[in-house]
Structure 1
Amino acid sequence: MEASEASHQIIADLLEARTGQHLTESRRWRVNSALAGIFRQHGISNVDQLVCLLAAPPGGPEGTDLAQEVVEALLNNETYFFRDKPTFDQLPGEILPELAQRRRDTRRLSIWSAGCSTGQEVYSLAMLFAEQAERWHGWTIDIIGTDVSHRAIHAARSGIYSQFEVQRGLGVTQMLRHFDETPRGWQVRGEVRGMVRFVQGNLLSAPHPARQPFDLVLCRNVLLYFDRQVRQAAFERLARAVMPDGFLMLGAGETVVGNTDRFVPAQRRASFFEPAANPAAAAIRKIA
């Protein structure tokens, strides 16, 4: 094994140990470009030199901060407002009304966005409720976003986005209704920011961020980066995080089929899944 190949494997092992993400051969082409900023910052030119710095004795000038910098740089934080709109539109059109019917006695809804990146998905959810304020008057809505990336969570908490970011997925009317232009960028208005909270956490190692299971969990385009064994472990954690009559929403390219028996597809709802213990979901599985 050549030195550069061995170094790439060390970087891949670091990413997997910290996040569970598997850096496949098809994704290794982007390592050098993703780490370019770290190369410039530390005055190095390649992965081999970076690995030497990572191997420095604990407490040295580099320490563990460099390892975290590397992990942060390799994470894919791609996201945008109302991502995959046809799928997202099922939330206000079908999923949330159904959950409202199921929770009509308590008038409480709890939602978790796992792998929320820089927060656009969480704020998109909050905007849905803000735009139907009369419909949800008197309800307690709890929306929480988590991500393994400290940097992404910091950005999400600020609620500040560039012109390019706010234009991805948002119409002009929504942008002007929910954002204020500031010297640092477009910031989500306080009434929407006040509906959400963000916590740094690893889906694989941290318990779900609430005492009770959630009515709706979104975990979109996260499981794609796990190998089969890690993906199964993630589904086990997600299964404990969803109410028996709640919903799990995955990305367009993700499915429970062949990956876990803890969830089954929700009838006629693309990208939505229900706990297998749910009688209605079990009936769908039996038909299938």
Structure 2
Amino acid sequence: MLAALLEARAGHALSPERMWRIETVLHPILRERGYPSLEALVVALASEADRNLVDQVVDALINHETYFFRDHAQFLDIERVALECLRERRTRHRTLSVWSVGCSTGQEPYSLAMALAERPEHWAGWDINILATDISPSVIRTARAGRYSHFEIQRGLPTRLMLRWFEPDGSDWLLRGDIRDRVRFAEHNLLSDTLPPGPFDLILCRNMLFYLTPEHRSRAVTRLAAALAPDGLFMLGAFETMLTQGAAFAPDPEARGFYRLSAAEARPQGRLQAR
């Protein structure tokens, strides 16, 4: 029941190695709602009488793992390879559009915003737009607030950047407004919602696709290809690959570790419509 619900709503596969998480992540809902057991919760879900309960359970089952500058070596590639490559390709117009897909509580797009803010002269005169989306309303609310616990701040964020871009607020840390304003957050289901206005010069879709079923993963890849600029760059997670995901993307010859649209996809007649 829970596996079918998660796949239907989010396209995620509840793999055997993730089964142990079910009772742990759903325990707060059992306590809050007064259900005596997981079985009682499943019975309530089957009736579909409480749509808020369904949303709450799906949200809890999705893995929202993230942290600042996640996979540090890979993030350095975003700064030193992708952004510099795109800077050369966009010198004439000086515009850059980035989409962070499956952004969770916002650490990835905010890390990017901080990295750009650290080099103000390098990006002076550029119009840079960062869109960050996630299927979960709760994590988008957290991301927009830019408020993080001390534990969240310590995960991946250098002390120098913490002191420069965050202010203490009680037991939490609040991101400065000028960094928050650099990122636009929105709820979005990659599998079903209309694609956001593009095309995007850089799409970050790290550590999300491998949670999807093969069928949904294929659809997601097709839609991501439709959103990427013909000479834009696409990045997966450190342990993900496009080798088994069809021919929409190919390794970019100038930006190692990144993908670009394949020759057929990059031609105007080969681009997919956002649907």
TM-score (norm 2): 0.93
Structure having greater relative contact order (Cα 8 Å, sep ≥ 6): 2
- Where in structure 2 are the equivalents of 1:235-254 lying within 5 Å? 235-254=221-240
For residues 113-262 of structure 1, the aligned pairs below 5 Å read 113-183=100-170, 185-210=172-197, 212-262=198-248
Q: Are 2:97 and 1:110 aligned?
A: yes
Q: Report the Cα distance in structure 2 between the residues aligned to 1:227 and 1:279, rounded to whole angstroms.
A: 23
Partner-residue secondary structure (3-state), 2:156 = coil
Gaps of 5+ in 2: 267-275
1:13 to 2:4 alignment = yes
1:36 match: 27
- 1:46: Cα distance to partner? 2.3
Determine the C-alpha separation between the residues in 2 that align with 1:255 and 1:202: 22
Name 1:283's counterpart in structure 2: none
**Offset, 1:219:** 0.3
Q: State the percentage of identical aligned residues.
A: 46
C-alpha distance 269-139 of structure 1, shift in aligned 2 (>3 A): closer
2:44 pairs with 1:56: no
Greater Rg, structure 1 or structure 2?
A: 1
Residue 266 of structure 1 deviates from its aligned partner by 2.6
Q: Figure out how many residues of one structure are paired with residues of the other and give that number.
A: 266
CA deviation string 1:103-151 (max 9, x = no partner): 1111100000000000000100101110011111111000010000111
Q: Give 1:231 deviation, angstroms.
A: 0.8
What TM-score comes out, normalization by structure 1 length?
0.89
For 2:175 and 2:196, the matched residues in 1 are separated by 23
Q: What root-mean-square deviation, in Å, do the aligned CA atoms of Structure 1 and Structure 2 show?
A: 1.7
Contact 1:265–1:273 under 8 Å retained in 2: yes
Quick one: which amino acid aligns to residue 243 of structure 2? Answer: V
